[in-house]
Structure 1
């Protein structure tokens, strides 16, 4: 974890910090249950900002490598569930224990508690299934991909393009009227709220480039010709902006949004490596006549956004 960071290799510092911690865990240098330095301590030790360490810790926590316990610190998770520290399963068990104890005090038997809890869970599951959620974004690649990515617990999310919202037909208006919740990105929050008014609750999520995607792109030699193939200029702009934020702007990236098969084939043949929008890797690989690296550029909602969405959906149960 204390391995010196390389500042001019194109790989973001937080990615290097994360990879160093992962390496320590996989090699056994860091043991399950071991406490890590605080964000401040590690940032001072490595000579980076605290935000850099915080991002690395958050990503590792989302991946189930670390667990953060309020008031105690950050620890290496036990991958075999024999960890001595609290984790999500432990916390849920404690909640159930409290509910069970209160149920017994109210005069219910354990069997009655199990029956009531099971029926209540089934009711909640049915309610979740009936919840109508709409995800609004400005480009087809992201709106379809993230509508699938954000689904959980049986909730179905209907994708809707921002342009479709602006020119809303009866179909789009009907979808919005039935929606219990509308999701968009922070970039479009104000515009979406203006378009739909105050009739529906709007939740904004933050979409970040997937860590693995950035690492793959960072490994492309700078002298290589890199082609970006996607359906919209908007998505291309988001990818190029993400590369700039990751300090990978020295890569020379050419953009191709034309859907014509022959022009796509010709463009693929002129590039050394290819970046493609989600779901198009196999399609583009079929055009490759030589060995070319094809990378899907994937954005994902951050952990805080997913937790916020879960909380908003839970709140619908109480109304």
Structure 2
């Protein structure tokens, strides 16, 4: 690549990698159908972590710039097609058109197609309402946020389980785990969860990444600002600091507090300019913040591939 990745310039590394890949495509060095370097090859060439390259590739794939083919690699998409299919709704409309055409060829009318489509959608929604999912993670902030906010379908019940609680009280959680249709954890804890549960249940591993908006806001914090992190656990704080290091933002001096006492929390907040908060603690911090404070909620969310994998797994559960 003609330009290096610049560290410590406030721009997350994966965004720089993404822009570098786009530049190679725009200047014609990588053309439609060309196979890109593997994540390992590009990470070694640019001297960044493989996770950084993976995050850049995933975003470009979600935007229709790249396409991953299982077992073959990552390729440059046809840009004309990417322009025509501007978003997921356009792509879905094309899929519906194909299904409708095939229905007509089978002898169904458009009215019958609409009726059967509505019937099938209602059936799927009813099935999803019965799905029971357990999400197992090592920090309470992430597991509670996931259970409350993430939607895989209408009415799906997600039970949060903290890994430490599971280790200490396996007998207590066993009925819940046995009744669950699907157990989810992160790649980081997959082997441990599998070992704890043995052959009781299949476990699905997903990847959780920080929201890009969160990383960008932190990258734009002016030098000299006093920055703090308010969360509930050392584990969550470690994950935040690791995520910032991966994005090339590890040079920041961030003070960490797990304080729950109101007076001590007020004192901690008063000595900061920017407060990074875990999900669930924003309101506590806002109660003591002033107009000069900038509050940034640090949220981890499943990547696009994990979301699609989960949705497919949930549908497959109810086919059995």
Q: Report how far residue 206 of structure 1 moved.
A: 0.9
> For 1:215-254, what aligned pairs fall within 5 Å after superposition?
215-254=216-255
CA pair 211-106 structure 1, distance change in 2 beyond 3 A:
closer
Distance 2:279 2:18 in 1: 24
Q: Report how far residue 92 of structure 1 moved.
A: 3.3
Q: What are structure 2's unaligned runs of at least 5 residues?
A: 27-31, 69-74
Distance 1:169 1:190 in 2: 16
Q: Is the 8 A contact 1:193 1:202 kept in 2?
A: yes
Q: What are structure 1's unaligned runs of at least 5 residues?
A: 23-28, 30-34
CA pair 271-160 structure 1, distance change in 2 beyond 3 A:
same
1:123 matched to 2:123? The reply is yes
Q: Report how far residue 37 of structure 1 moved.
A: 9.6
Distance 1:61 1:16 in 2: 16
Q: Is the 8 A contact 2:207 2:303 kept in 1?
A: yes
Q: Deviation digits for residues 148-194 of structure 1, max 9, x if unmatched?
A: 34322212211111122223376632221211100101111111112
Distance 2:12 2:34 in 1: 21
1:73 matched to 2:77? The reply is yes
Q: Report how far residue 76 of structure 1 moved.
A: 8.4
1:206 matched to 2:210? The reply is no
Q: Secondary structure of the residue that 1:198 maps to in structure 2?
A: coil
- TM-score, L = length of structure 2: 0.78
CA pair 227-87 structure 1, distance change in 2 beyond 3 A:
closer
Q: Is the 8 A contact 1:68 1:75 kept in 2?
A: no
Q: Is the 8 A contact 1:226 1:275 kept in 2?
A: yes
Q: Secondary structure of the residue that 1:317 maps to in structure 2?
A: helix
RMSD, aligned CA = 3.5
Is 262-271 or 66-75 further displaced after alignment?
Answer: 66-75
CA pair 53-177 structure 1, distance change in 2 beyond 3 A:
closer
